[in-house]
Structure 1
Amino acid sequence: MGYRTLKHCLDDLERHGQLKRIDAEIDPCLEMGVIQRKVYEAGGPALLFTNVKGCRFPMAGNIFGTMERTRFIFRDTLASIEAMVKAKTDPAYLFRNPSKLLKLPAAGLNILPKTVSSAPVMKNRIALKDLPQLVGWQKDGGAFITLPQVYSESPVKGGFRNSNLGMYRVQISGNDYAPDEAGLHYQLHRGLGIHHTEALAKGERLYVNVFIGGAPSMTIAAVMPLPEGMPEISFAGALGGHRIPFFRPEQGTAVYAEADFVICGYIDGTLKPEGPFGDHVGYYSLKHDFPVMKVTGVFHRDGAIFPFTTVGRPPQEDTSFGNFIHELTGELIPDVLPGVKAVHAVDPAGVHPLLFAIGSERYTPYQKQDEPKEILTQANAILGQGQLSLAKYLFITNHADNPALDIHDAEEFFTHVLERADWRRDLHFQTSVTIDTLDYTGHGLNKGSKLTVAACGEKKRTLPDRLPENINLPDGFDAPRVVMNGVLAVRAPKHTAPRGEYDPAMIRFCESFEADNPVNGFPLIVLVDDSDFTAANINNFLWVTFTRSNPATDVYGIGAFTHAKHFGCTGSMVIDARVKAYHPEAMEMDEEVIKKVENMAVRGGALEGFF
């Protein structure tokens, strides 16, 4: 039941026609990433690269490239996970469906890891330089492990119950790293940081192991946003259908016995520059100081296979992780956040920059619900919850206004909000808070702002679907394009304002319109560098608008005012979504690499039929 090793999984995928081998020599520097992303975009199979340039280990990519394949991988245990979730949210469900009770005992037993006396992964010893040197984008600072499972235990409490398994990228070459050092990029609100803090307080090093491969359930567990104190390896056992085996060496922390590779070592207070890295937001995260892992040993099992992914502007393979996690745990949202019906991290906007939420107004059922009340409380709860707290923009609505509203349909959701929003009342800013480490739009690293847009009640306006006649824009602004009903993109001059400051050009734009100007029929106007690109499709609009703006400095309004420290506007809300001088570069692949890969896909080529 379930897969215990990566090879077991890949062999089964191949038997079912869901994996293809690539026997031609492929360079893990750039070429492999282009292939994996193109096959993902085409909805293609998992890939096994058997002839990796400069490395003796095969590599596997696009394993979770489609939702259908991801569900297939975990088909043996999904019913038991569903029963556990249902039991949590609706205990009577088990009494109505007594057959589901049979699935719970095994799932409950599997949450307990087991200690074993030996570990296949410790069979062979190598060096960091012997691992595949994967470089996904040409301006990356070196080679990275992109599907690592970083394991640590609390130095205060210890043991499996106080462990953390997280997917924090690991840089294994480049920059100033010695041959026995790796960069460990862990961000805000990650369990590893809690353990590191405890170790530093005790004046101790924190032992850390990086697992690569093994059961697919361990990969999913490493990205699960579980509550603090709930060990990810317990979830891995339930999802994988077996107890996760761990080996305790004489020194260091526990080793996942069935991994394909393990990097053993420790972190202390040493920092070194890590990056750049082409990240999942669609831009390079720049070089910054992060903890250095002192490597004490690198090991692999016989027949080890190195799994990888490459990221970029979404959607990419890691999109499947988010979608699959939502399928598994979405029903728990009301249990964790009372009154909240659903939360959706919008993948095309880079995940963390934009959240949609559906709440419920229950405070005053004896009154007409014509303005946000409880959904504002629920918005604060969402922005205080784990990784959701890294969001910049949160749009929240009231469930009763449209119970059929699809939170995953961005155009439908925006239409619903823009039909009801009152910009005099519904904009709620937090102007100096922590934001995602990968987001460079704010005042500095991890420093930025948030905007909650709360809209409820009856429809207030009909959204225009075309430009008003004889639209008159101020000098320097042109090429207006309708993105969707109620949303207008306008090309603006190049941004020149200093970081963290208002741009006078934006103020000039807003002040050029009177209250009765028909442009105000568009509740949302975005000023951009390329309005044709922004309006080409909804995903372009989401990516441009919410990855290139910081609410506190980049949200303006026609007829703007501040009253009792509350910002609002009587006309359109205007977002400055231009590229700023301090933004990192968007990722673009080398044309020569693309041409080489595409030539391999022609008739008779090694990649014929792959994409």
Structure 2
Amino acid sequence: PLVYTQSPNNGKGNLGMYRIQFHDELTTGMHIQIHRGGGFHHYEAKQKKESLPCHIYVGGPPALTIAAVAPLPEELSELLIASLLLGEKLKTTKDLAISSLPIVSDADFMLVGEIPPDELRPEGPFGDHYGYYALRHDYPVFKVKNIYHRKNAIWPATVVGRPPQEDHYIAEYLQDLLSPMFPLVMPKVLSVWAYEESGVHTLAAAVVKERYPKEAFTAALRILGEGHLSLSKCLMVTNVNVELKDFKKAFITVLERINVSTDIHIFANISQDTLDYTGPAVNSGSKMLLLGVGEKRNVLKEEFLGNFQSNVFKRAKVFCPGVLCVSSEIYKKGDLMADKLLEEKCIEGFIFVFLVDDVEEACNSSHSFLWTIFTRFEPAGDVYARYEVIRNHLSYKAPIVVDCRLKDWYPKVLREDLGIVKKVEERFGKIIDSIG
């Protein structure tokens, strides 16, 4: 649901969408992940040893939901964006007898309460938009004081799971809607696209300006410092005006221009999105930056014609020019499978070689590739290559092997319960028939 809080320091509001788990009649969980406005407000209140006043809204104008999940620049108000989407001022009211916070008049439900500074309770596991079961962790709680609702209000619901789900289309709409804003707040950036098929935060791409050598690098750092884009695990950047929505075309554009020895940057020991479990601990991981600017420098290999020397490698398939997927045995700690793959002569000529559990699944489509690859590796832990240290930079040599097999500590993949699917289909059919 929608969660509204205000900064205890300056009164600035934030409307976010956070998972709420029922604990008891007066308490819910408050799943505030890192780099969320509500989390910053809770931190400020915690420093003051105060509870944070909070409203939970359910339903109401769809523009409110759109604004809450939009990847807005930090200083833009979600309520302002909702008003712009509505074409009129969002209806709010103040009633100190109810709450110190503004009240959204057209919401279907409003829960009024507060988030204590130091109380945590276990939450989860839950299915999430990455397509996995997020594990059990301690999170803040919300203490309910009063519940308000409109007459005959309906409690809306949605589902989450492996993308694309219905939130996929909302995410794409939002990116199209907000894309003109990014050049205004980041002048070196012409366009940005985050791939929702990969869980949004695992991969983004950008077209940037390159008016002097390596200007693209500075633009990339700017992107990695902006709002929710700062959660991007992998970022590929080019100065070619390519349609970023076409992942395969954008990836090829970067690979044709990348200098593997100088233009692959891995930043280790930093924060990582809460729901991305590929790192060594929750909220910890790394980032990878790929720069592909200027004229074409690489002729990308398009066919795999070789044979593996080791029988641990089962199948190989080209996803796109320059990119090979190879399947092997399931992951076992210390199996050195990626190192063994590096020794295979038959992979030479490819820039990236992705080690996967199922080649057919990985290469089935761009959607499948994005999800299978980018939700299953952490740059600092799963990228393997021959390299030299030149001027304190890891200067890689192609091919770059990336271990994208499911690891022991990853959460389980979300899968449909076929019995529930059958029931839903039967009931949905009856509902449609009754409508006529």
Report the Cα distance in structure 2 between the residues aligned to 1:206 and 1:591, rounded to whole angstroms.
42
Q: Deviations over 1:89-136 (max 9, x none)?
A: xxxxxxxxxxxxxxxxxxxxxxxxxxxxxxxxxxxxxxxxxxxxxxxx
Report the Cα distance in structure 2 between the residues aligned to 1:325 and 1:205, rounded to whole angstroms.
33
1:155 counterpart letter in structure 2: P
- Asked whether 1:212 is paired with 2:66, we answer no
Match of 1:389, SS? Answer: helix
Query: Residue 395 of structure 2 aligns with which residue?
Result: 568
Query: Residue 98 of structure 1 aligns with which residue?
Result: none
Deviation at 1:542, TM superposition (A): 1.0
Tell me whether 476-485 or 546-555 shows the greater mean CA deviation.
476-485
The one of 288, 294, 315 aligned to 2:164? 315
- Asked whether 1:238 is paired with 2:84, we answer yes
Deviation at 1:220, TM superposition (A): 1.1
Query: Residue 472 of structure 1 aligns with which residue?
Result: 308
Query: Residue 425 of structure 2 aligns with which residue?
Result: 598
Q: Deviations over 1:39-90 (max 9, x none)?
A: xxxxxxxxxxxxxxxxxxxxxxxxxxxxxxxxxxxxxxxxxxxxxxxxxxxx
- Asked whether 1:195 is paired with 2:41, we answer yes
Match of 2:8, SS? Answer: coil
Query: Residue 507 of structure 1 aligns with which residue?
Result: 339
2:53 counterpart letter in structure 1: Y
Deviation at 1:601, TM superposition (A): 5.7
Query: Residue 73 of structure 2 aligns with which residue?
Result: 227
Match of 2:201, SS? Answer: coil
Report the Cα distance in structure 1 between the residues aligned to 2:164 and 2:172, rounded to whole angstroms.
11
Judge conservation of contact 1:600–1:608 (CA < 8 Å) in 2: no
Report the Cα distance in structure 2 between the residues aligned to 1:565 and 1:444, rounded to whole angstroms.
27
Describe the shift of the 1:608–1:489 C-alpha distance in structure 2 as closer, same or farther (beyond 3 A): farther
Deviating beyond 6 angstroms after TM superposition, the runs of 4 or more aligned structure 1 residues are none
Judge conservation of contact 1:187–1:437 (CA < 8 Å) in 2: yes
Query: Across the two proteins, how many residue pairs are aligned to each other?
Result: 432
Match of 2:24, SS? Answer: coil
Describe the shift of the 1:251–1:305 C-alpha distance in structure 2 as closer, same or farther (beyond 3 A): closer
The one of 113, 120, 127 aligned to 1:278? 127
Query: Residue 411 of structure 2 aligns with which residue?
Result: 584
1:570 counterpart letter in structure 2: K
Q: Deviations over 1:302-322 (max 9, x none)?
A: 021222221211111112222
Describe the shift of the 1:396–1:298 C-alpha distance in structure 2 as closer, same or farther (beyond 3 A): same
Fraction of identical pairs, as percent: 39
Match of 1:341, SS? Answer: strand
Describe the shift of the 1:330–1:229 C-alpha distance in structure 2 as closer, same or farther (beyond 3 A): closer
Deviation at 1:608, TM superposition (A): 5.5
Report the Cα distance in structure 2 between the residues aligned to 1:609 and 1:451, rounded to whole angstroms.
53
Deviation at 1:518, TM superposition (A): 5.0
Query: Residue 248 of structure 1 aligns with which residue?
Result: 95
2:327 counterpart letter in structure 1: R
- Asked whether 1:179 is paired with 2:25, we answer yes
The one of 236, 256, 264 aligned to 1:395? 236
Deviation at 1:390, TM superposition (A): 0.7
Q: Deviations over 1:466-525 (max 9, x none)?
A: 222x42242311211122222111112222227xxxx52211221x23xxx452222111
Judge conservation of contact 1:279–1:311 (CA < 8 Å) in 2: yes
- Asked whether 1:543 is paired with 2:393, we answer no
Query: Residue 257 of structure 1 aligns with which residue?
Result: 105
Report the Cα distance in structure 1 between the residues aligned to 2:396 and 2:40, rounded to whole angstroms.
42
Unaligned runs of 5+ in 2: none
Judge conservation of contact 2:73–2:226 (CA < 8 Å) in 1: no
Report the Cα distance in structure 2 between the residues aligned to 1:463 and 1:455, rounded to whole angstroms.
13
Query: Residue 497 of structure 1 aligns with which residue?
Result: 333
2:107 counterpart letter in structure 1: A
Report the Cα distance in structure 1 between the residues aligned to 2:172 and 2:147, rounded to whole angstroms.
33
Report the Cα distance in structure 2 between the residues aligned to 1:608 and 1:522, rounded to whole angstroms.
54
Query: Residue 357 of structure 2 aligns with which residue?
Result: 529
Deviation at 1:597, TM superposition (A): 2.4
Query: Residue 153 of structure 2 aligns with which residue?
Result: 304
Unaligned runs of 5+ in 1: 1-147, 364-371
Judge conservation of contact 1:247–1:256 (CA < 8 Å) in 2: no
Describe the shift of the 1:457–1:472 C-alpha distance in structure 2 as closer, same or farther (beyond 3 A): same
The one of 433, 437, 441 aligned to 2:274? 437
Query: Residue 149 of structure 1 aligns with which residue?
Result: 2
Match of 1:151, SS? Answer: strand
Report the Cα distance in structure 1 between the residues aligned to 2:183 and 2:215, rounded to whole angstroms.
14
Match of 1:480, SS? Answer: strand
Q: Deviations over 1:339-394 (max 9, x none)?
A: 1111110111111000111111112xxxxxxxx60101111111111111111111
Judge conservation of contact 1:486–1:522 (CA < 8 Å) in 2: yes
Q: Deviations over 1:515-572 (max 9, x none)?
A: xx45222211100111121112121111111000000011112x33333442233221
Report the Cα distance in structure 2 between the residues aligned to 1:296 and 1:208, rounded to whole angstroms.
10
Higher strand proportion (structure 1 or 2): 2
Describe the shift of the 1:151–1:601 C-alpha distance in structure 2 as closer, same or farther (beyond 3 A): closer
Judge conservation of contact 1:249–1:255 (CA < 8 Å) in 2: no
Describe the shift of the 1:441–1:609 C-alpha distance in structure 2 as closer, same or farther (beyond 3 A): farther
Report the Cα distance in structure 2 between the residues aligned to 1:250 and 1:227, rounded to whole angstroms.
33
RMSD: 1.9
Report the Cα distance in structure 2 between the residues aligned to 1:341 and 1:157, rounded to whole angstroms.
33
